[in-house]
Structure 1
Amino acid sequence: MANSLVSIQIIPKTKNGENSIPYVDEAIKIIIESGLKYEVHPLETTIEGDLSTILQLITKMNERMMEMGSYNVITQVKILYQPTGIAMEDLTGKYH
């Protein structure tokens, strides 16, 4: 079972103020390719998994923003760490 829920909002600074949505789409693609359980929300994406794996994923996302031409990126992260196990369903299941 996963030991963490991590919500991520990535805000890349583009060179000439271009639309950042293609950058955000690329960050979400990296999450999808990770194989981890995730949910995309309007202002952030929540990932369920092992904390160290998710932190490595965040590093990969930030590095990809630089490769795409962003000159800096703000990444806001919220972490729920529970060694005994945690799932998104535990917190939001009653709403589905």
Structure 2
Amino acid sequence: MKNNIHLALQIVPLTTSDRAYPFIDKAIEAIAASGLRYQVGAMETVIEGPYDDAMRTVKMAQQACFDAGAEELVVNIKLHVRKNGDVTFGEKLEKYS
């Protein structure tokens, strides 16, 4: 699948709440390093890009958390895909800017 998709990623480190944020920060750093477009939200980060690249970015974000010392994660993923055509931030957000 070569079309751009949207992948909403929520990584929840299973640790005390005050220790979770550094792991989440590492996940977001990995997403930023992927080169894909992304938007950080309060509950999840949405990634825009080709399916395989987006899924590779999920793996990178998980590994970044483990490399930072996380022992266990709950990972929630939502996908918006189209058979023919890209899914873009612009189409969803332009009326709000």
**Does TM, normalized by the shorter one, top 0.5?**
yes
Q: What SS does the aligned partner of 1:38 have? A: strand
Give the TM-score taking structure 2 as reference length.
0.87
Q: Specify every segment of 5 or more residues in structure 2 that has no aligned partner in the other structure, as ranges.
A: none
Q: Which residue of 2 aligns with 1:27?
A: 27
**Count of matched residue positions in the alignment of Structure 1 and Structure 2:** 94
Which amino acid in 1 is paired with 2:22?
P
TM-score, scaled to structure 1:
0.88
How far apart in 1 are the matches of 2:38 and 2:32?
8
Pick closer, same or farther for the CA change 1:6–1:23 going to 2, 3 Å: same
Which residue does 1:67 correspond to in 2? 67
The runs of 4+ residues in structure 1 deviating greater than 4 Å are: none
For residues 1-96 of structure 1, what are the structure 2 equivalents within 5 Å? 2-14=3-15, 17=16, 18-82=18-82, 83-96=84-97
For residues 90 and 50 of structure 1, the distance between their equivalents in structure 2, rounded to whole angstroms, comes to: 17
- In structure 1, distance between residues paired with 2:20 and 2:10: 12
Counting aligned pairs with the same residue, the percent is 26
Q: CA deviation at 1:2?
A: 4.8
